[in-house]
Amino acid sequence: GAGIFTSAGIQDFRTLDTGLYYSNLQTLNLPHPEAVLHTSFFRTNPQPVYNLAKSLHPGQFTPTVTHAFISLTAKKNLLHKCFTQNIDMLEHAVGVLPHKLIEAHGSFAGQSCIDCHTEYPADRMRKHLLAGSMPQWETCTRLVKPNIVFFGESLPREFHIGLRMVEEADLVIMMGSSLSGDPFVEFPGQAREGAVRVLINNERAGGIGGRVGSVHLLGGCDQGVRRLAEELGWTAELEEVWR
């Protein structure tokens, strides 16, 4: 969840007064904060999304030690699947391979025509973002939409297929999420009986900690993964991956 990227300097979306929605409300002329990620608003005023895409473009932010921990589990062949609600692509930056990653809300890694869904070249999108100009397909003059999931749109098919893999896991680690929005509210319950569930978060969520084999590490994600790494004897390896 969003709690794994805030230490990278990225604002979360909804925190009152400081989240991306709220801090940009005046400058982006939004009718309400969440409007920036509604298709109907995007069609009439796409610039806020392009501003967001520019601010999250690869290279703007450095992955956190939590991202490094995810990468380390993959390097040790222990990562079955990484589900992320985030659209910042920082999992890619630490080398998590695409087949190990399910981006439930999409990402800014690609973009396509909002109507015919034809892929738009990444180099051209980057030029438009840096110039502050409007990307459009010349042939159909339709808007180019980043491949992120807007409010009201269905989650990727891969998410629902991958969710079944949670039932196969021996250990399910959830980090930086309130586990309150669909479909993640059901995520903790997907773990099979006997599987260990670990939540690293600033507050309790998802009923984690209420049964044997269910652990809540209260605090920030970076602090939590360092604690796990210490218990596992991975501290030096974790710092090496992060650096």
pLDDT tens by residue, 150-199: 988 888 889 888 888 889 999 999 999 888 877 788 788 888 888 899 99
Alpha carbons 196 and 231: distance in angstroms, whole number: 16
More confident of the two residues 70 and 89: 70
pTM score, two decimals?
A: 0.86
Break the chain into its structural domains and give their ranges.
2-242
Pairing assessment for the beta strands 144-148 and 106-113 based on DSSP bridges: antiparallel
- Is 57 known to be catalytic? no
pLDDT band at 11 (very low <50, low <70, confident <90, very high): low
pLDDT of res. 16 = 45
Roughly how many angstroms between the first and final C-alpha of the chain, as a whole number? 22
- The structure tokens listed for 90 are 């920082």
pLDDT over threshold 90, residue 51: no
Please, are residues 127 and 121 in contact by the beta-carbon 8 Å criterion?
no
Q: Which of 105, 128, 160, 216 is catalytic?
A: 105
pLDDT band at 88 (very low <50, low <70, confident <90, very high): confident
Class of domain 2-242: alpha beta
- The structure tokens listed for 119 are 């892929």
Indicate the burial class of 187 (C-beta count within 10 angstroms; 0-12, 13-18, 19 or more): middle
Mean of pLDDT values over 8-21:
57
List the one residue out of 200, 147, 152, 144 whose CA is nearest residue 172.
Answer: 200
pLDDT over threshold 60, residue 13: no
- What would the pLDDT profile of 62-83 be if each residue is shown by its tens digit? 899 999 999 999 999 999 999 9
Region class of 59: left (phi > 0), else alpha (psi between -120 and 50), else beta: left
Mean pLDDT of the chain: 85
